[in-house]
Structures are given as C-alpha cells and as structure tokens.
Chain A
Amino acid sequence: MRLINTLRKHKVPYLFILPFFILFSIFQLYPIVWTVWVSLTKWNGIKQPVFIGLNNYNLLLNDYMFTDAFFNTVVYWVTGVIFIIILSLGIASLLNYNNLKGKGFFKVVTFLPNVSAAIAIGIIFSMLFDKNIGIINEVISLFGINKIGWLTTVKYSKIPVIILNIWRNTPWFTLIILSGLLNIPEEYYEAARIDGANKIQQFFKITLPNLTDILFFCFIILTVNSWKIFNESYILKGPSTSNMSLFQYMYQSGFTAFKMGYASAIGVVLIIILAIVSVVQFILMRKNSEI
C-alpha cells in the first residue's frame, strides 16, 4: 500500500524514467539471465540443450584460444587507455591553443575518423597494412627497413588493430577533453604566469588537476569499449588466434562452431570482468566526487 502511494505521489518522474527500465528488462536483463543458463548447457542451437553444469567453464580454463583471446584483449585495453588518453590530451591542448587560426577547420577534420564507419575503415586499413603492396610498407622501405608482415605474422598482427582502435577513437575523447579544457577558468593560468610558472608547470599544476574527473570518465568508457572490441580485429584478422579479441572468440564459438553453451560461458566471463571494473569504478567514484 505504501508502495502504491509512493508511486502515485511521484507518478511523473517515474513515468519519465520508465521507458528505459522497460527496454532494459526486455532487451538486456532477460537475455543476460538466459545467457547464464545457456552457459551451463551443451547446445548446438538446433537440438535440445543438455545441462552440463560448470563443464563449459572448466573447458575454458584449458583452452589456449580463450587465454590467447583474453591476453590480446588485455593488450588492446592497456594500449587503448594509454595512447588514446595521452594523444587526446595532446590534441585537445593543441586545439585549445590561444591564438590558433582555423580552429574550426582543425576541429572538424580531426574528428572525422570517429565519423567514419569501422567496417569501411577496417577494409581500408587492411589494404594500407598489406605486406606486399600496402603503402605503409612502401614508406618503411624508403627508410631502408625490410617489409613487415603486419597482418601475416603472429608478432605484428596486433599492431594494425591497435592503430585502428586509436585512430578511430582518439577524436571522441579529444572532444570530451577539449570540453574540459574550455571549462578551466583563464584566470588560473594568468595567476600562474604571474607567479612565473612556465607552460609545462602550468600543465601539471593547473590543467591536469582540473581534468581528473573527465580523465576518469574517459578511462571507464575506454575500459568498457576495449573489452567489447570486435569490429577492428574481426576485419584485420591475423594468423591463428594472434589478434583475436575475447568478444570475437565468443562470436566464433557461437556462430561458426555452433557451441552456444560455450559461447555463452565466454559471455558470462566478459560480464564478470566488466562487473569487477564497475565495482572498482563505484568505489573510486564515491571517493572522488559527487557524480
């Protein structure tokens, strides 16, 4: 009764936020609960699923493809976080340069990579990085370096994926960080100049501390996106499992090998990893600020 009263009293805000929760339960929550159940079965999608308990998870532990995919994804995550944050911080600072002419132009063109479809750009990158006729190797050989099998060797095949990931995603974070830079009052810098601080000192004493929240936000989004990485490594496929991502392995297990239970188990592992990240996020966020 109290519940109904509360609902009636606050009818308007509840109605306003209701659509999200309806869509979430139908299209996200229910499928995921279902996935957890499928992960406990052996199922090829056509015949009846057979309950096998935690067997799929046991198999995962001994599957070198899974561990390969796991560590590849860790590499994409770490490189993505480091390079994208540093680069977008740098580019945003350049775009924020005081007497820069053509600021609008530079802002537009540096954002274009993010506008371009990953599918299309992936195809283009696979040509740029071709060992025999790719333009990247052509440039390298101008400097007397031997042609590198970017997509044909185990050693290098992650590099094109990392570069594509950085190339496409840096602009988005540049935009976010630039907005943060614009919000730092100019007086702070003036005061620092009067105190005799040089540009580098200004950056570490004023810019960075004022961007902590935004950088933290970037870190979280980058983490989630990195663990879900699919398109980049799917199109720029290297030999064997050398650059396969975790999500890609899930897709392959489910839709190429038709091991739905096994694929679901990989999905559940992904959810657990991201859940851990989210718990850490909440702890840090509570400490840091008031959202």
Chain B
Amino acid sequence: MKKFFSLLLVCSILLSSFVIVFSNVNTVASASSNKYPEGTIEIYGYGQPQYFLKYYRPWLERNRDIAPKVSIDIVQTEGAADVREKLTMSYVAGAYDDLPDAFYIDPVNLVNLADGGLVQDVTDFVSSLTDKLVDNAANDATINGSIYALPESVRPQMLYYNQKIFNEYNIDPERMNTIEGYIEVGRELKEKSNGKVYLSYIDPGSRTWRYYGRRGLMPQAKAKIWDDNGYPIIDTDPGARLAFEALDTMYSEGLLLKTAIFQPALYDAVNNGEIATFYIGAFWDEFLRKNCTETLGDWRVMPAPVFKSINLRGAPVSQYIAIVDKPNAVYSGLIKKMWYDFTFDIEHKEKWVRSMVRLDAPYANPISVEMLKDEFWEEPSIFYGGQSFRKMEKIALRNGAPNLVVTAQDAEADIIISNELEKYVAGVQTIDEAIKAMGENLRNKIGKVEVIK
C-alpha cells in the first residue's frame, strides 16, 4: 500500500508542476505589449507548404522589431479535406490551444468552417484592399456578404499544348480556341498519328470530376448542380449536359489516354510525345517542369477553350488562407501583415519567385494589380520555348466563367458525382446513365441543400 501512495504522490507532484509551468507561459505571453509574444505561428497547409516557409521565415527575420521571438511552422496535410478534418476534430474536442493560427483552404471546405464559426471574419481588412486586388479575388471566400479568408492565389484554367507535336502534324493550335475546335484537333491528331498521339488524358479516379468537371467544363458550360432553392438539377440542367457530353465525345472517341494524373505513366507518355494537350489549371506548370524535363522548350500555353454557345474562358481557382477564430488568437495581426507583404511587397516577392524557379518549385502569379504590372511577370520562360508563362496566366484570367455555387454539402456531393463519373470512365455505364444516377443519388442521399450565398 505504501508503494501505491508514494506513486500517487509522485503523480500529483508531476501534475501540479505541469500546471505551474503552463500558467507561467500564459503570464509571460500577456505581459508584453506592442510586440508579438514569443511562440510559433502554426499553419495547416497542403500541396508544398515548405516552399511558403522559404518566404515566411526570412520575413520574420526582417520583422524582428515587432516579432522578436516568433517562429513559424506549416503542418503538411493531405489536402483541403484533411485540413478541415483536423480542425473539426480539435474544435469538437474543445481543444482551442491545439487549433492552428491559420490554414490554407479551398472554397468547398471553407464554407463549412466559416458556417461553423471557426474562422475570423476579415471583411473590413480585405474589403479596404479589394481595389488593389485582381477581380473577384475574394469572391469564393464571401459568404452571406462577409469575407472569411485572405486570398492567396487566383489561378486560371489553361490549355497546355506541345508545339512540337503540332508542328509535326501541321496543325494550327489556334483552332483550339473553342471546345468544338479542340475536339476536332483531337480527332485529326489521332488520325494523322495512327492513334499514337492522344489529345489528352483522363483520370480513372476522382480527379476527372475535379479537373474536367467542377473546375473545368462545368463552370465553362454554365452548368448547375443545384437550383436556386437548393434542389439537385445536375441531371436536367442543359449546361451540365453540355459539359458531360463534351467529355463523353473526347473519351468515347478514344482521344483521351486513360491514366492517372500525377503518376509516372502519364509523365512517360508526355515524354514520349503521346499527349498533345492538357486542359487544366495553371498549377500544372510546376508538374510539367519538374517531371517532363525531356520536353523542355516544347510546351506552350493559351487560355482555356470556350464553348461556342457560351463564350466564357476557364473559371479561376482560388486558394485562401483563413485565420482561426479562437480565444487568444495572438498572431492574427501578424498573419495579416505577413499576408499583406506577401501580396504587395514587390521586391521580396520577386526574389522568392526567382528562387522557386531555380528549385523547379511551385509559385503562382500575384493577386496585386500593381505588382502584376511589373515587367517581371512577363519574363520569358525557358520551359515554354521563350513564351512567357506568367503573362499567359495573367491573360487567361480574362473573361473567366464564374465558379459553381458552393454549398455546405458539396464535399459529399463531390463524392456522389465522382462515383458515377468514375464508373463511366471505367466503362460500366454510359454518360447518360451516369448523369441520371448522379441526380438520383444526390436526391436520395442529400436532398435539399442550404444555399449559403
């Protein structure tokens, strides 16, 4: 029994010392004014957040006057849904001090987190700057009239094409100005190359819906998943039909190589000159540069083709950084300041971008109108045979289609829609059956959604 009590004693001593240590930390934090307290800014990110650190860490060094002992860490997660999962879990558990200070997020997942009260309303801060930002930069972060996140990048849908292939088969890339022309070119390439050259790829998994559907053909065809009252209409909407039929034409005629995106098989096909084009977001730039070094100088870019009847270019994809609304959010001011400089400080942004280029690392065009005017953003790119990728990215944003309306149930809707599309790609149902099943399943499993905007 003695042993037991001594154990108990040891435990309680340990516990109380913990309490003392923690309460000390708190007093230190609140004691200093003006300057930001010692600690670490924690941000949840995805993609390649380690490259953002190469901007933020030197930034903190430059700002030691206000943040003498602040460091920054970005936690790598699998993606936006994973960020949301981690935040939700911490929030449910009431674990406010485990919540990060900020996080990168996409519109679909931001809606739920904003709706649940997890993120700071930054309307006042951002709306004072809207004039200085590219058009609609904060659009997808605006929910019921309030802005809930700082826009980090706004990138267009583009068309990448391998000029060498077009030269070889003597086809004018300008013909791909419309989706209809794009499909024509695909047929011609297939015929002239005896089936060696594919117009593009199609992913057997969920990325077909993401890149050809939600971010690509759907907004460009002015398609709708939900009607204004929140009922699913994907199976009756003419825009959705236009989008799905364009995809069906390309796939059923064998113009698309079925292979997963971001996988070596696709890169091999690119390096062997079997893939002529990519209809995808501007982010694809970095993947080509990094994985298809053999095609250096062969690629060119142009704005995404339009549907003749609609005449809208690709919808921009925005990424946001949201600040967590938690008690004692000591660094929210510092994060805003950091974001401000990342967005508007020309000198350091250019320096960072140059280092990214050297590393074959990702970067996006800035969202500051002022900064975009700088000649730096029109510099020629070696990978694109001297064409300026950055300039093209800027041009491709013009006349962009509005994005699909996002609701709180869209994460689930994506799963349901993608499942049917995947079955179509796998060849077990026709596109008509897929569209019909999408409508039915959305009605059965979700029913009516709340349209938040």
Q: Which residues of A contact B (CB under 8 A)?
A: 44-47, 59, 62-65, 127, 130-134, 149, 151-154, 237-242, 252, 255-259
- Closest chain-B Cβ to A64's Cβ sits at a distance in Å of 8
> Is A239 in contact with B425, judged by CB distance below 8 angstroms?
yes
B426: which of A47, A59, A239, A252 is its contact (CB, 8 Å)?
A239
A152: which of B91, B116, B258, B264 is its contact (CB, 8 Å)?
B258
Q: List 9 A-B contacts (CB under 8 A).
A: A45-B92, A46-B91, A131-B258, A151-B204, A152-B260, A240-B420, A240-B426, A241-B419, A255-B85
- Closest chain-B Cβ to A131's Cβ sits at a distance in Å of 7
- Closest chain-B Cβ to A214's Cβ sits at a distance in Å of 40
> Is B411 in contact with A239, judged by CB distance below 8 angstroms?
no
* Contact A257/B265 with A154-B426, A239-B204 known, Cβ cut-off 8 Å: no
User: What CA separation (Å) do A239 and B263 show in the bound complex?
Assistant: 16
Q: Is B268 an interface residue (CB 8 A)?
A: yes
Closest 5 CB pairs of A and B: A46-B116, A152-B204, A257-B412, A239-B426, A239-B422
> Is A133 in contact with B426, judged by CB distance below 8 angstroms?
no
> Is B269 in contact with A258, judged by CB distance below 8 angstroms?
no
Q: Is B430 an interface residue (CB 8 A)?
A: no
- Closest chain-A Cβ to B375's Cβ sits at a distance in Å of 42
- Residue count of chain B within 8 Å CB distance of chain A: 41
> Is B426 in contact with A258, judged by CB distance below 8 angstroms?
no
> Is B112 in contact with A239, judged by CB distance below 8 angstroms?
no
- Closest chain-B Cβ to A142's Cβ sits at a distance in Å of 19
> Is B258 in contact with A133, judged by CB distance below 8 angstroms?
no
Q: Is B254 an interface residue (CB 8 A)?
A: no
Interfacial chain A residues near B260, Cβ < 8 Å: 130, 152
Interfacial chain B residues near A44, Cβ < 8 Å: 112, 116, 408
Q: Is B205 an interface residue (CB 8 A)?
A: yes
* Contact A133/B415 with A154-B423, A256-B81 known, Cβ cut-off 8 Å: no
Interface centre among A63, A127, A130, A151 (most CB of B within 10 A): A130
Interfacial chain B residues near A257, Cβ < 8 Å: 411-412, 415
User: What CA separation (Å) do A151 and B205 show in the bound complex?
Assistant: 9
User: What CA separation (Å) do A154 and B419 show in the bound complex?
Assistant: 11
Interface centre among A134, A238, A255, A257 (most CB of B within 10 A): A257
Q: Is B428 an interface residue (CB 8 A)?
A: yes
- What 0/1 pattern do residues 256 to 281 of B give for CB contact below 8 A with A? 01111001110011000000000000
* Contact A239/B423 with A46-B88, A154-B428 known, Cβ cut-off 8 Å: yes
- Closest chain-B Cβ to A233's Cβ sits at a distance in Å of 13
Interfacial chain A residues near B145, Cβ < 8 Å: none
User: What CA separation (Å) do A218 and B241 show in the bound complex?
Assistant: 53
Interfacial chain A residues near B88, Cβ < 8 Å: 45-46, 258
- Closest chain-A Cβ to B148's Cβ sits at a distance in Å of 14
Interfacial chain A residues near B117, Cβ < 8 Å: 46
* Contact A258/B259 with A127-B264, A240-B419 known, Cβ cut-off 8 Å: no
* Contact A133/B268 with A62-B444, A239-B426 known, Cβ cut-off 8 Å: yes
- Closest chain-B Cβ to A8's Cβ sits at a distance in Å of 11
Q: Is B118 an interface residue (CB 8 A)?
A: yes
> Is B422 in contact with A240, judged by CB distance below 8 angstroms?
yes
- Closest chain-B Cβ to A124's Cβ sits at a distance in Å of 13
* Contact A131/B426 with A256-B415, A257-B412 known, Cβ cut-off 8 Å: no
- What 0/1 pattern do residues 92 to 133 of B give for CB contact below 8 A with A? 100000000000000000001101111000000000000000
> Is B259 in contact with A63, judged by CB distance below 8 angstroms?
no
Q: Is B84 an interface residue (CB 8 A)?
A: yes
- What 0/1 pattern do residues 420 to 439 of B give for CB contact below 8 A with A? 10110111100000000000
> Is B415 in contact with A152, judged by CB distance below 8 angstroms?
no
User: What CA separation (Å) do A151 and B422 show in the bound complex?
Assistant: 12
User: What CA separation (Å) do A57 and B259 show in the bound complex?
Assistant: 37
> Is A152 in contact with B269, judged by CB distance below 8 angstroms?
no
Interfacial chain B residues near A154, Cβ < 8 Å: 423, 426-428
Interfacial chain B residues near A64, Cβ < 8 Å: 441
- Closest chain-A Cβ to B138's Cβ sits at a distance in Å of 23
Interfacial chain A residues near B420, Cβ < 8 Å: 240
* Contact A131/B81 with A47-B116, A239-B422, A240-B426 known, Cβ cut-off 8 Å: no
User: What CA separation (Å) do A153 and B428 show in the bound complex?
Assistant: 8
A237: which of B205, B425, B445 is its contact (CB, 8 Å)?
B205
- Closest chain-A Cβ to B250's Cβ sits at a distance in Å of 17
> Is B258 in contact with A258, judged by CB distance below 8 angstroms?
no
Interfacial chain A residues near B115, Cβ < 8 Å: 46
- Closest chain-B Cβ to A52's Cβ sits at a distance in Å of 13
> Is A153 in contact with B427, judged by CB distance below 8 angstroms?
yes
Interfacial chain B residues near A256, Cβ < 8 Å: 81, 85, 411, 415
Interfacial chain B residues near A65, Cβ < 8 Å: 419
Interfacial chain A residues near B428, Cβ < 8 Å: 154
User: Which of chain A's residues has its CB closest to B427's CB?
Assistant: A153
* Contact A252/B415 with A45-B88, A63-B445, A132-B259 known, Cβ cut-off 8 Å: yes
**B205-264 at interface with A (beta carbon < 8 Å):** 205, 257-260, 263-264
Interfacial chain A residues near B112, Cβ < 8 Å: 44, 46, 258
Interfacial chain B residues near A151, Cβ < 8 Å: 204
Interface centre among B84, B113, B263, B422 (most CB of A within 10 A): B422
- Closest chain-A Cβ to B346's Cβ sits at a distance in Å of 39
User: What CA separation (Å) do A241 and B82 show in the bound complex?
Assistant: 20
- Closest chain-B Cβ to A270's Cβ sits at a distance in Å of 20
- What 0/1 pattern do residues 397 to 419 of B give for CB contact below 8 A with A? 00000000000100110010011
User: What CA separation (Å) do A44 and B419 show in the bound complex?
Assistant: 21
> Is B269 in contact with A132, judged by CB distance below 8 angstroms?
yes
- What 0/1 pattern do residues 76 to 89 of B give for CB contact below 8 A with A? 00000110110011
